[in-house]
Structures are given as C-alpha cells and as structure tokens.
Chain A
Amino acid sequence: QSALTQPASVSGSPGQSITVSCTGSSSDVGGNNCVSWFQQYPGKAPKLITYEVSNRPSGVSNRFSGSKSGNTASLTISGLQAEDEADYYCSSCTSSGTSYVFGTGTEVTVL
C-alpha cells in the first residue's frame, strides 16, 4: 500500500486560509469515509484534528475543516495563526477496513 500524496509544504500569512490536499485511490481515500487528519509538532506525538472526513473531536478549533472529493481529501485551516505551524498528516483505512495508510506529510508555515 503506497503512502497517500500530500504537498511537502504549504504556507500562508496570519489570518489567511490554506488548504492541504491528500490524494489516494479508490482502494483507500475514495473507497470509504475513514479519512482522518493529524497535527504534529516537532518532537511531539501526533494529535487528531478531524475524523470521518469532516468531523472534529471536541476541543479542536472550528478553524480546521475536512472534506473529500473522489480520491482526494482536503484539510482547510482558516484564520491561520502562528500556533498552526506544524506538520499535518492525513490517513485513510484501506479497502480491507483493517489496515491504514498515511499521507506523506505537509509542513505548514505561517509567514
């Protein structure tokens, strides 16, 4: 199972909106709704920010929103803040439903 494809880096100015894409195939992203996004600061464990494509866990800012179209999932961060500067990873379960694949990761920079 190949890793999902994400851009290596995305940047934006404070207050702007940015979108991070995550492209897979019909065997993963396009074949189910178990797409999640994780935020990871350097040297820290990842943290869940969206699940089941577009749901947010309690405590996660509503500035983070997830969506999906076909084989591509997206994470949009609106009202970009300095604290959003981190690495972001998408994940999807595969067609078996019991294994998972992660994206290649995107470094978000706040200019």
Chain B
Amino acid sequence: EVQLLGSGGGLEQPGGSLRLSCAASGFTFSNYAMSWVRQAPGKGLEWVSSISESGISTFYADSVKGRFTISRDNSKNTLYLQMNSLRVEDTAVYYCTKGRIKESDVFWGQGTLVTVSS
C-alpha cells in the first residue's frame, strides 16, 4: 500500500523557515518523480515544486522560486521542502505527491499544515 506521511509543519513567523518532510513507503521511491502542492485554507490547489527521480532536475512555481528548495534522499525514501523567507500567503496545507501531476498513477499524501503568522 502506497503511503506518504508528511511532517514538519507548524506555526512560524513571517521571514522564518521550516522544512517539510514526506516519508514514502509501498513503492520504489527512486523510480518516481515527486511534487509538492499546497492548498490555502478554503482555497484551491496550487502546484509548488517538482523533482525528478534522481533529484538532478527541480522545478518551481514563480510564487516560491528563490525561497523554497525541493530535495530528496532516495536512500531514506524521503522528500523534502525547505521553505525560507516565509510569508503569510504561504499558509496552507502542503501535500506531497508520488509522481508528476499529469501522470496516470499520481498519488497524494495526507498533507501537513503550515501556518505563517506573527
């Protein structure tokens, strides 16, 4: 059974940093690209970032480029999102996904809440 368990969320002040983790199990992690998608409270979905299977290629939404860094450790089956210079508008539930958004077997984890507030 595929499982994606997000962690690392919480309350942070504007300008602060957080690192999200997504622990994967139930599939061969290194064979899949991974992504982060967020959803502000009561709002729609927003693609944040994706990373290739090897981790060599990374892609970002303009809204987070230069502030967020996606990475992965294939030996630990874990995906990361380092979030710096946090803004109030970064407040959202952050979902990690197995696979690219367009793929036939994309699967979403349960999400972790990030709140940015003073």
Q: Is the CB of B45 within 8 A of A102?
A: yes
Secondary structure of the B side of the interface?
loop
Query: Known contacts A45-B108, A45-B109, A46-B108: does B102 contact A102 (CB below 8 Å)?
Result: no
Secondary structure of the A side of the interface?
strand
How far in angstroms is the closest Cβ of chain A from B114? 16
Q: Is the CB of A3 within 8 A of B108?
A: no
Q: Is the CB of A46 within 8 A of B95?
A: yes
Q: Which of B73-95 contact A (CB under 8 A)?
A: 95
Q: Is the CB of B104 within 8 A of A57?
A: yes
Q: Is the CB of A91 within 8 A of B62?
A: no
Q: Does chain A have a CB within 8 A of B106?
A: yes
Q: Is the CB of A100 within 8 A of B101?
A: yes
Q: Does chain B have a CB within 8 A of A55?
A: yes
Count residues on chain A whose CB falls below 8 Å from chain B CBs: 24
Write out the residue numbers on chain B whose beta carbons fall within 8 Å of the beta carbon of A34: 102
Q: Which of B10-41 contact A (CB under 8 A)?
A: 35, 37
B59 to chain A: closest residue by CB: A98
B62 to chain A: closest residue by CB: A1
Give the docked Cα–Cα distance between A88 and B7 (Å). 26
Q: Does chain B have a CB within 8 A of A89?
A: yes
Q: Is the CB of B59 within 8 A of A105?
A: no
Q: Does chain B have a CB within 8 A of A74?
A: no
Q: Is the CB of B44 within 8 A of A51?
A: no
Residues of A within 8 A of B (CB): 1, 3, 34, 36, 38, 45-48, 51-52, 55, 57, 89, 91, 93, 98-105
Residues of B within 8 A of A (CB): 35, 37, 44-47, 50, 57, 59, 61-62, 95, 101-111
